[in-house]
Structure 1
Amino acid sequence: MAAVVAATSGVAHAADNLPPKQPLVEDLTTETKACATGEDRAYVGAPPTLRAALYDPEEDNQPAEANMVKGEFEAWWTDADGVEQRLTYTTNATLSGARQLWRMPQDSIPANTVVSWHVRADDGTEKSPWSSEGAGSVCEFVYDDVSPERATITSPEYPEDVLWVDGVGVYGHFTMDSPSDDVVAYTYNFIGGPYATVQPKQPGGSVTVPFLPLRSGPDRLTVRAIDRSGRSSGESTYRFYVQSGRAPVAHWRLDDAAGATSAGAEKGTAARAGSGVSFGGPAPRGTDLASTAHLDGSSHGYLTPDAPAVADPRKTFAVSAWVRPARTDRTMTVAGQDAGRSAAFTLGLRQEGTTPLWSFAIGDARVSGGAPETGEWAHLLGVYDAETGHAKLYVNGHEVGTEAEAAPAATTGAFQIGRVRHGEAYRDRWRGDLGDVRVHDRVVVPAEASQLARHRPGLLGHWSLETAPAGASPDQNGGAPLKLGDGAAIYRSPDSSCLPELDPDCPVIPSPLVGDGHLTLDGRTGYAATDGPVVDTSDSFTVGVVVRLADAEPDRPMTVLSQGGEHTDAFKVRYQPSKHAWQLVMPQRDEQGAAETVVAQVAAADGGEGRGHRLAVVYDDATDQIRLHIDGGSITAATADFPNGWPSTGPLQIGRARTGDGWGEYLHGDVDEVQAYAGALSADEINGLGWGTDPCLC
């Protein structure tokens, strides 16, 4: 081979040209599909772009910019008359290693015909071997110009357009099938999801997908069939109508009259009560229960219908109850079902080392979580989903622990409340109160879990602050009034016969914050207060208020709400000018200088203008969280963990807080619409605070 010497910028290069490298099959693609033949060949929905990476040897001793190669593509096929047809294409030269492309002509490639192709590299002097030579291979594709037919959809559980069909928490199985024999996938979605793609076991086959309705109402499944070329069918739509989740298969409220010897069943068989069971005990606040049953933890403290409640533990079921343990230092059973000499499942409290946890066990699988507290109500729900094979545990409407894969026993025996089978005897007996034991033969979905565990908040006081006869602003519902101290007054806009927008001499008279009046505080001594505590700060509560600061740049912290203990406030809401934020402050003990939990929401001071801010404090004892909302529940709340709320004994204060041994942080501004509730309001309910009415506590 001739040697060429080139001079560039005073540097000589010896260039002994070598032929380009043979293209590798793994560097070739038809569109994005790998080079393949036979059953693995590519199928495309349009004449494809062929791609190849081509290399010139580095040993050519050329500068990098001189290693240029072009690609020679060749494609061939046999036409309908049995005659071989060929097309060729040569690319422009590009740098070695770059991708070379051939966009095949639209009108030259026949449909539904196997087309073969290969490529080689040309550096202008030498050509590489074809990619199909030696250990290489040709590439094949088929251009498919016909989209697949629409999919058909069927479901035995949810027939199309039938009103109404069972139901929330009951799986449906939807089969998608297309008459086209080249369909390799189906894309589908239900209203609100899931959105997914599934593949049949073989081209042209059908696919069945499970779907768990989470809400009642009309639903729709939309499907497209996708063939191996990537072409999509038209859209198929399947409409079905889901009714509400069906009632429990067994249900004992346990609110029977004192002295009863059995628990009546809302559904199922009455449960025989041992002598260690007494009825007429306390019920969880804000529920439909009027009373509950107390089990003394002895061998006589149990209830049983002497029959199974779960017909087959291998199928989907759920078990739930309101529970209040009298102790948390031992393992105790709320409910379970016999399976020979053991239990098919158990729901209850489990002592793990020194830590008590709520627990749901099926066979050898167990889900644990939550924090049981002596004397505190909790709602437990265990769910076994046979479709997924997993067990879940909900505490107070929230999923806890990690769902576990379970293998239930086939044996069924009597349902038990307050004890669990172990060998020839029972053990782990419940000591405490139980109510509203339910067994479902379906999945209880998350929204239902929240509803079952819901404590409906109760209104404790609503002070509209529009009047204050004899220095006391009344509660709208007849409860204790807010008494006004010095420096506090009710503002009501005076009557005026002129309109400022029509008469330039008419004075502008400010409107009350909400309704016909509001409380105005002077920032020095002004406050209003009840005679005693309003909310139980050791339990869930909500307090809302509308407030407008008089100063745009306050020079000190100012408190709008507080309720105190003996030595400090149990909570207070204040504006902290150094942070330009409203703060919720929760001392962790009733002690001077106790550590505090502080949550903050940023909002500018009003400066006596505008409509003020709607603030709400929400403490949820079930989740041990405290939140501060500004201007409704739709705004993201500032949240903090607060596991140990303590009961305050002092009155509700408007406009001041405890400071040292006295009072301080007096508010200079306006206050309206003070509302207090036992229980934690939801975000939607918080949106209803501060408008002059009470929100719907549905």
Structure 2
Amino acid sequence: MAAAALTLPATTAYATSTGPDGPPSEHASDRAGAAVAQGAEEADNTAPLFPRVTLAAPYTDCLTNDCRAAGGPGVAAKFTFAPNEADTDIVSYRYHLSSDPTWSSVTGTTATVTRTPQRSGFYRLEVQAVDKIGRAGASTELNFKVAAGEAAIGRWHFDEASGAALDSGTEAGTARHHATLAGGATRDDRGRRGVRTHDSEGAPLPSPATDRGLTLDGSSGYATTNGPVVDTRESYTLSAWVHPDTLGGTDRTVLAQDGGFRLSYDAAQGTWTLRPSLPAGVGHRTLMAEQPATPKVWTHLTAVYDAPADETRLYVNGRLQATGTAPGTGAADGPLQFGRAPSDGSPTEYTDYFDGSIDEVAVWQRALTDTEIADEARLILNGGHNAVELVADWSADGATGTTLTDTTSGYDARLTLSGGATLDGETLVLDGVDGAATADGPLVDGTGSFTVSTEVTLDGASVSTWDVGRIGQVVSRHAADGSAWGLWYEAAGMETVLDPDTFEEKLVPVGLWRFGRLNADGTYTAVDSDEVARTDEPVRLTGVYDAQDGTIELYIGDTGNGSALPVTNAPGLGEFTVGATTDGDTRTQHLPARIKDIRVWAGAVASSQQISEVTGD
């Protein structure tokens, strides 16, 4: 296909087109306006005119009634910039693609640049010529549409009531590869998509649907297809959600195809690995994730083989962890294994059985882009809902004693009370001195998306004696680097208000709710509540960490407070603490409050509507 050339006449008028969410209203060559006559004689005394922009195949410039999708994610778009015919002193260009965060520059009277779209959809390129005295001129805009990449050739939800796990891959013309469960392999209600209330189009379901997942016993359980799914001689991508019940000193395989690859946990390294199977005589080249693997949490794994680049890539929770070069393998004629791997040197013996849950497995016969991988890790159900799986749910209703048991989520997490923490049959009561409740483990992967919510009634009399800046933790999780994420209250002083009952002035404590990351040195990155924290009445607090955007949000009730704030989260195996935070063997920042319930989800809720649905408020 020939390149699509765009030449604009000299003009000082310019009509912009619509953005990347829709096609332009007119072809770029129709935007000249009526000022052509002043072009050539004024060119030396004015800023540069519209540059000429050429878009190379396979993409074409959108016309008013013709905006054809071409290429795809990962398929480069090539642009050539040239001066307007009336300009003679152009030395460089400024340009901005709608998917880029900032403008870029390139030198030369003419110049060629390449950009690689990460997603399908509409894109807009804006280009300005720059003359020798540094003046940037009028903008030429060009719109083009990127086609969707090839869909998954295999996808398994493991949500059937019984029988084989059905392959719901959608790529046209591909065979279905259903997977047979065997040994200690079952399905349970610990599916990563959680409880779904809406379909893929956003319409409410007749009744909530609880997702199911594949559960393996670590000794004999697995699932397998009848034959190979991926052609390992070509580019491919593997994706899976995993929730290991145990890791420790035993290797655990997530996905493997004999003669092709093994995506697994390496006990010696303590992390996730990708090992391509290589021809005889060639040593194994293993990619190892930078961060350690965490047991008892949901983690998203992606492995990519990029054949043209001779490169393998390993991602954890949608973020690149390791890159390496690897030669292509021969045709892998073994079936796709879920939860086990063939023993080295024996195609009939298997090892490294996975202990825990595997869910939402997908494979593509292409290398996904980084952005597509991040989208897959986000697990979007529809425009207003992301998949969130409840991994802890503690209600104090009817509870007494020193242990609060989660009987709802299916993950059997337990809170153990200590110090001045008690249960009164309705709430968890914290004295603000040494009262706390703790659960083993972090509950969620610190580098993955999560949501935490609780209803808390702050003791106004107790916090009225606090110094400015004192912190009381509602919930927290200590990280490996000494920081902690959590919801907390911070005192800001006292203020005089009029008592509506007595019409007399009184002093009341003033403070803020915060959600974020508290660093080991006392600094923090947090979203603040818009209004001062209310005392002596219940308040619903919800914190959301979106690992793909790298942002945190705070909701009071179902209302977002402040703006989403960038933050870098950290992995960690520290305990989950209610009413305090843990620093080594010491608990600090105790909170005087009554807490009615505490819930934690793997995944970031997508909207205030979804918060109302999952919390029931």
Report the TM-score when normalising by structure 2. 0.54
- The answer to whether structure 1 residue 678 and structure 2 residue 600 are counterparts is yes
2: distance between equivalents of 1:335 and 1:604? 44
How far does residue 381 in structure 1 lie from its aligned partner after superposition? 1.5
Higher relative contact order by CA 8 Å / sep ≥ 6: 1 or 2?
A: 2
Out of 151, 154, 166, the residue aligned to residue 55 of structure 2 is 154
How far does residue 190 in structure 1 lie from its aligned partner after superposition? 0.5
- The answer to whether structure 1 residue 456 and structure 2 residue 364 are counterparts is no
Out of 425, 437, 443, the residue aligned to residue 361 of structure 2 is 437
How far does residue 239 in structure 1 lie from its aligned partner after superposition? 0.7
* Counterpart for residue 416 of structure 2: none
2: distance between equivalents of 1:234 and 1:622? 39
Are the equivalent residues in 2 in contact too, given 1:627–1:640 (CA < 8 A)? no
Identity %: 17
> Deviations along 1:545-588, whole A, 9 cap, x unmatched?
58788689822489998699xxxxxx9955557998668999xx
How far does residue 176 in structure 1 lie from its aligned partner after superposition? 1.6
Are the equivalent residues in 1 in contact too, given 2:48–2:137 (CA < 8 A)? yes
* Counterpart for residue 360 of structure 1: 274
Are the equivalent residues in 2 in contact too, given 1:457–1:680 (CA < 8 A)? yes
Q: How does 1:518-597 map to 2 (within 5 A)?
A: 530=426, 539-540=443-444, 542-544=452-454, 554-556=464-466, 573=488
- The answer to whether structure 1 residue 280 and structure 2 residue 187 are counterparts is yes
The 1:238–1:266 alpha-carbon spacing in structure 2 relative to 1, beyond 3 Å, is same
Look up the SS of the partner of 1:679 in the other structure. strand
> Deviations along 1:516-560, whole A, 9 cap, x unmatched?
xxxxxxxxxxx9862689x99553562255878868982248999
* Counterpart for residue 304 of structure 2: 383
The 1:175–1:561 alpha-carbon spacing in structure 2 relative to 1, beyond 3 Å, is closer
Are the equivalent residues in 1 in contact too, given 2:76–2:115 (CA < 8 A)? yes
Letter in 1 for 2:78: F
- The answer to whether structure 1 residue 219 and structure 2 residue 143 are counterparts is no
- The answer to whether structure 1 residue 264 and structure 2 residue 179 are counterparts is no
2: distance between equivalents of 1:606 and 1:360? 48
Output the aligned Cα RMSD. 6.1
1: distance between equivalents of 2:51 and 2:291? 49
* Counterpart for residue 209 of structure 1: 114
Report the TM-score when normalising by structure 1. 0.49
2: distance between equivalents of 1:254 and 1:598? 44
How far does residue 337 in structure 1 lie from its aligned partner after superposition? 4.0
2: distance between equivalents of 1:150 and 1:236? 6
Out of 179, 186, 193, the residue aligned to residue 100 of structure 2 is 193
- The answer to whether structure 1 residue 307 and structure 2 residue 228 are counterparts is yes
Are the equivalent residues in 2 in contact too, given 1:629–1:637 (CA < 8 A)? no
Are the equivalent residues in 2 in contact too, given 1:547–1:560 (CA < 8 A)? no
The 1:635–1:183 alpha-carbon spacing in structure 2 relative to 1, beyond 3 Å, is closer
* Counterpart for residue 350 of structure 1: 266
1: distance between equivalents of 2:605 and 2:57? 39
The 1:375–1:610 alpha-carbon spacing in structure 2 relative to 1, beyond 3 Å, is closer
* Counterpart for residue 176 of structure 1: 80
1: distance between equivalents of 2:99 and 2:539? 32
2: distance between equivalents of 1:554 and 1:327? 45
Letter in 2 for 1:356: G
Look up the SS of the partner of 2:332 in the other structure. coil
* Counterpart for residue 616 of structure 1: 541
How far does residue 209 in structure 1 lie from its aligned partner after superposition? 1.0
Number of residue pairs matched by the alignment: 449
Letter in 2 for 1:419: A
The 1:576–1:609 alpha-carbon spacing in structure 2 relative to 1, beyond 3 Å, is closer
2: distance between equivalents of 1:229 and 1:322? 55
* Counterpart for residue 323 of structure 1: 242
Are the equivalent residues in 1 in contact too, given 2:318–2:374 (CA < 8 A)? no
Letter in 2 for 1:150: P
Are the equivalent residues in 1 in contact too, given 2:393–2:600 (CA < 8 A)? no
* Counterpart for residue 236 of structure 1: 140
Look up the SS of the partner of 2:60 in the other structure. coil
Look up the SS of the partner of 1:436 in the other structure. strand
2: distance between equivalents of 1:619 and 1:442? 30
> Deviations along 1:386-422, whole A, 9 cap, x unmatched?
6776544332x34153x41423405332452232574
* Counterpart for residue 572 of structure 2: 643
Look up the SS of the partner of 2:563 in the other structure. coil
The 1:310–1:223 alpha-carbon spacing in structure 2 relative to 1, beyond 3 Å, is farther
* Counterpart for residue 406 of structure 1: 325
The 1:404–1:576 alpha-carbon spacing in structure 2 relative to 1, beyond 3 Å, is same
The 1:290–1:422 alpha-carbon spacing in structure 2 relative to 1, beyond 3 Å, is same
2: distance between equivalents of 1:603 and 1:375? 30
The 1:687–1:390 alpha-carbon spacing in structure 2 relative to 1, beyond 3 Å, is farther
Look up the SS of the partner of 1:449 in the other structure. helix
> Deviations along 1:118-159, whole A, 9 cap, x unmatched?
xxxxxxxxxxxxxxxxxxxxxxxxx99997983332243443
How far does residue 324 in structure 1 lie from its aligned partner after superposition? 3.1
Q: How does 1:41-60 map to 2 (within 5 A)?
A: none
How far does residue 679 in structure 1 lie from its aligned partner after superposition? 1.3
The 1:346–1:279 alpha-carbon spacing in structure 2 relative to 1, beyond 3 Å, is same
